Structure 1
């Protein structure tokens, strides 16, 4: 049985455009994700760029809309911090200006409230008795979620 990487796709440009449009309509996609998918379908570079341009013109692809959707989803659903969200957008090759604009959509009060809630939940589950080890574990957990060290330290000192 062939794996996904071994499959051969022989799409003509029109079919690839239709499939890409359906793929982009299902969920917000970045230009780079779409480009990667088209190359996975064995499309030629000139065809890939033509399809990307068409998808943008027909509003199937919109980097700004993608950035805002990504930030909103990762913050509200996955409870990620700004550092992890920003890194994710950079991996998707979203321009820095759009990253900054989308990151500004996070409400500061909601951000701090989410961080506080995560800390409280983790504190309730943490079984470590040694205070320093306990705080280190909490710090590591919140940092892995993408929150800033200074905010974490401020919260840990006040708790």
Structure 2
């Protein structure tokens, strides 16, 4: 990467960076820091990007939530934690969670849970339960959903 960028070059480069995929403010700022710009130049570019609609935190949060749920099958807890990690506001996090319908959320949860239950090759039922619960909790699904589902699946397999 080139050492020193003019504001114009940096702006062009960061426009492409933002146009390629939705970005949060923090990703863009760290990219600009890596281009060795000072904080005044970074602020100037960020204001321009927001004004030109290249950077939109609400749009990022919604697209992030949809994508992580539909593609990676993450639950709400994991999505919320990842958005908080990216310093997204509570307002935008709540907006993003509305992108996933309750029907879609429960359908994803049940299909993922049933598929995973079938793949666990563990004869000890306690170990199987633990592996199953750990997996779904890591994915960010609510513990009450996970524990109800494990009871259902165990009663079905007896």
Q: TM-score range by the shorter chain?
A: over 0.9
Deviating runs (4+, > 3 A) in structure 1? none
Match of 1:53 among 47, 52, 75: 47
Q: Distance in 1 between matches of 2:135 and 2:128?
A: 11
| Aligned ranges 1:25-104 → 2 under 5 Å | 25-104=19-98
- Report the 3-state secondary structure (helix = DSSP H, G, I; strand = E; otherwise coil) of the residue aligned with 2:15: helix
- Given that 1:13 and 1:47 are in contact with CA atoms closer than 8 Å, whether structure 2 keeps it comes out as yes
Give the TM-score normalised by the residue count of structure 1. Answer: 0.93
> Which residue of structure 2 aligns with residue 138 of structure 1?
132
In 1: Cα distance, 2:133 partner to 2:83 partner = 24
TM-score of the superposed pair, with normalisation by structure 2: 0.93
Whole-angstrom CA distance in 2 between matches of 1:158 and 1:109: 19
Q: Matched residues in 2 for 1:34 and 1:53: separation? A: 12
Contact 1:8 1:42 in 2 (8 A): no
How far is the alpha carbon of 1:70 from its aligned partner?
A: 0.2
Offset from partner CA, 1:107-138 (integer Å, 9 cap, x none): 11211111111111111111111212111110
Structure 1 unmatched runs, 5+: 1-6
Aligned length: 153
* C-alpha RMSD over aligned residues: 1.0
Secondary structure at the counterpart of residue 150 of structure 2: helix
